[in-house]
A and B are shown apart, each in its own frame.
Chain A
Amino acid sequence: MIIKILGSGCRKCVTLAENAKAAAEAAGKQAEIVKVTDMAQIAGYGVMSTPGLVIDEKLVSAGKVLTAEEIGRLL
């Protein structure tokens, strides 16, 4: 699966990426983490507040740093 982190590289996006990685590992899933920093692309997902989290092209959260457990439930 592909997990995308939408954000312009702020601290929150880094944390979210780490949490997503931890969640995927905990769930034993093979996940590729992609960071999307281009604002037009980010907005293309309908996101107005970063960071956003996209799992397999589906936006699952915006404007919030989810914990690894919360991401785990979404995987």
Chain B
Amino acid sequence: MSIFGWLNDQVLRMQWLSDLVTAGVAAVGLDPASRLGGSVQFFVYDVIKIFILLSVLIFAISWVQSFFPPERTRRILGGRSGIWANTLAALLGTITPFCSCSSIPIFIGFTAAGLPLAITFSFLISSPLVDLASVILLASIFSWPIALAYVVVGLIVAIVGGTLIGRAGMEDQVAAFVRDVPVQEGEHVLTRGERMEFARDQVVEIIQRVWPYVLIGVGIGAAIHNWVPAEIITALLGQDKWWSVPLATLIGIPMYADIFGTLPIAEALVGKGVGLGTVLAFMMAVTALSLPSLVMLKRVVSMRLLLLFLAVVTGGILGIGMLFNAITHWFI
């Protein structure tokens, strides 16, 4: 335990970096215990930590991803149905690209190949919601039990959500042109060098895309951490308030940000006494549902199916938030 604990503190949570930044803040004449010094410490430490973790994680995960291009995922899922097929789809969703912008081509590609909506939606829900990088970041900011719990509940939302959407019998609610899209078979097998190159490109591309969100997220986190009185936050989002989970979900849905940008906000909110379930609901709402992705999805499915998707995912997030708030004492 002590060795594992030490590794966790130093490698994942980067305690050494925190100490270093604290010393640096003190060296330039700011008191790390003061408000301003504390904000600067939080901001610098979090930004450096998130960027280091992101680079390492995206590289490692892209390497794994390069073995599962969407074409292959589609072949693995083809011809399957039932709860295990949904589970498989949700699991495959965790190792596919981070960006919700790729979900529409994947939706069209899967549907055109005749995959049932149940399977496609399990995949589509899990893909932005649970990915390996965010799990390791969660472990870094909170703890391993919380990260693992997040994965499990995220997968459950994806599996149950996909199954419910499949049960609704809305196969005819997909835009007609989708079925006429040609199915491109055959995938390109990458060499080792190409995988390296792919992983490196992913790091550059994703960091270029997410860095503003990370800075904004850490900025908001630092502000909450040191400037907003805990009473205001707990009055709005405190664990004893029944509306905290719905409110956090509603705020999160229209927001479009990467999970990497929401983590520092989540960290600061938990520090102020906001319930774990409320914070997880906020993070899930931000990542799984966003206005841009809903607008994109509207182009390929009918309003009825879109609303069902929205209702199922929102319901799942609310349920998880309340459940986690009820069992927080297991984790903290």
The answer to whether the Cβ of B217 comes within 8 Å of any Cβ in the partner chain is no
A44–B101 Cα gap in the complex (Å)?
15
The answer to whether the Cβ of B154 comes within 8 Å of any Cβ in the partner chain is no
Interface secondary structure of B, over-half rule: helix
Q: Are B184 and A43 in contact (CB under 8 A)?
A: no
**Binary interface profile of B, 66-101, with partner A (CB < 8 Å = 1, else 0)?**
000111001000000000000000000000000001
Q: Are A48 and B109 in contact (CB under 8 A)?
A: yes
A50–B204 Cα gap in the complex (Å)?
16
A11-B201, A63-B69 are known contacts. Are A43 and B108 too (CB-CB below 8 A)? yes
Q: Are B183 and A43 in contact (CB under 8 A)?
A: no
Q: Are A10 and B205 in contact (CB under 8 A)?
A: yes
A49–B205 Cα gap in the complex (Å)?
15
Q: Which bracket fits the contact residues of B?
A: 20 to 34
Q: Which bracket fits the contact residues of A?
A: 20 to 34
Q: Are A49 and B112 in contact (CB under 8 A)?
A: no
A10-B205, A12-B201 are known contacts. Are A47 and B105 too (CB-CB below 8 A)? yes
Q: Are B104 and A39 in contact (CB under 8 A)?
A: yes
Chain B residues close to A by CB (< 8 Å): 69-71, 74, 101-102, 104-109, 112, 177, 181-184, 187-188, 201, 204-205, 296, 299-300
Chain A residues close to B by CB (< 8 Å): 8, 10-12, 39-40, 42-50, 59, 61-64
